[in-house]
Amino acid sequence: MSLTSSSADARLSPSGVSLPKVTIPALAEMKRQGKPISALTAYDYSTARLVDEAGIDLILVGDSLAMVVLGLENTLAVTVDEMLHHTRAVRRAVHRALVVADMPFGSYHGAIDEAVANAVRFIKEAGAEAVKIEGPRVDLVRGLVEAEIPVVAHLGLTPQSVHRMGGYRVQARTAEAALQLQADAFALAHAGAGAIVLEGVPREAAAAITTALPIPTIGIGAGPDCDGQILVFHDLVNLTFAPAAKFVRRYADASALFRSAIERYREDVEHRAFPSDTESYHLPQSARRLFQMDVRDDADEVVNRDAREEITQS
């Protein structure tokens, strides 16, 4: 591989301008320059394409897919194979954004070697460019980085700890807990994490950590002072069938849009208003004449046969 950029290093914008690929070092550079990092989840080819083409910097194939795509109650049941399947679909769509795969519950909670082997699958089999893990797992971050796997850490409200937390509750609400959060963030940064997602923590704690930390923070329910923001795609466009959390801003109502399209289609089918003649394929004129003659002959044949049967039976 040469040091000159390959076609994988850049993509062309719709207007033909070359856009550089977002990488972990590029995120660090954005923090240095005070340029906000935009991030969003995606779980399939079509949404990932839209997200990438809209210029979002980081796409997370989040284990939130367990809930918003698979309809499960929480994120705990989704498997490595399911996450790989969705990561591959996203990877095929994305040219510019950094693709980060969430490691699912249970895939990194045992021996470090086993966790590294699972993370390798996301890079090797699905084309992820980094993995995300929840909690202050400093030794694991070190192990992953030693294996050349970039890591996005995740602190605060970590949904895979739902049972320990007793629900999805804002974390670090006391001075001690906020100091512990800061200490964990520092330890993860020093172990080599490339960025840290801060979820469901007070704005003040997130702001202080963001200022002090050498690596970017990406907030979700952590206030506006983080280096970047991430939301779940389905929250952004109202496809969750549930009231939005306080930190969610709905930018579109895809539920209403899709519902109306689906209902109009059903009505059209029921009223034979779909498809129209112009939405149908046609035989060429010459073939149409011959075909109609044949159909008429066949119909006559059926009538004659029925008549013959009636005569023989009577």
Q: Show which residues are catalytic.
A: 199
Which string of DSSP letters, residue by residue, matches the chain?
A: --SS--GGGEEE-TTS-EEEPP-HHHHHHHHHTTPPEEEEE--SHHHHHHHHHTT-SEEEE-TTHHHHTT--SSSTT--HHHHHHHHHHHHHH-SSSEEEEEPPTTSSSS-HHHHHHHHHHHHHTT--SEEEEES--HHHHHHHHHTT--EEEEEES-GGGHHHHTSS-----SHHHHHHHHHHHHHHHHHT-SEEEEES--HHHHHHHHHH-SS-EEEESS-TTSSEEEE-HHHHTT-SSSPPPTT------HHHHHHHHHHHHHHHHHTT-SS-GGGS----HHHHHHHHHHHHHHHHHHHHHHHHHHHHH-
Residue closer to ligand KIV, measured from CB, 68 or 191: 68
Contacting range for ligand KIV; rule: CB under 6 A; set: 15-23, 57-65, 123-131, 181-189: 57-65
∠ at Cα 134 (65, 207), nearest 5°? 105
Cis peptide before 104 (omega within 30 of 0): no
Site string for ligand KIV, 67-86 (x = CB under 6 A): --------------------
Residue closer to ligand KIV, measured from CB, 57 or 199: 199
Window 88 to 117, contacts with ligand KIV (CB under 6 A): 102
Window 17 to 36, contacts with ligand KIV (CB under 6 A): none
Q: Is 63 in the site for ligand KIV (CB under 6 A)?
A: yes
Instruction: Give the C-alpha separation, 85 to 144, whole Å.
Output: 21
**Is residue 87 a contact partner of residue 104, using CB atoms and an 8 Å limit?**
no
Minimum CB separation of residue 147 from ligand KIV in Å reads: 22
Contacting range for ligand KIV; rule: CB under 6 A; set: 4-12, 19-27, 62-70, 290-298: 62-70
Residue closer to ligand KIV, measured from CB, 11 or 88: 88
Tell me the site size for ligand KIV, rule CB under 6 A. 11
Window 145 to 184, contacts with ligand KIV (CB under 6 A): none
Minimum CB separation of residue 155 from ligand KIV in Å reads: 11
Q: Is 57 in the site for ligand KIV (CB under 6 A)?
A: no
Contacting range for ligand KIV; rule: CB under 6 A; set: 60-68, 143-151, 254-262, 296-304: 60-68
Interface with ligand KIV (CB under 6 A), residue from 84, 197, 205, 236: 197
Contacting range for ligand KIV; rule: CB under 6 A; set: 56-64, 165-173, 244-252, 265-273: 56-64
Residue nearest to ligand KIV (CB): 62
Q: Is 59 in the site for ligand KIV (CB under 6 A)?
A: no
Residue closer to ligand KIV, measured from CB, 201 or 232: 232
Q: Which residues bind ligand KIV (CB under 6 A)?
A: 41, 60, 62-64, 102, 197, 199, 220, 230, 232
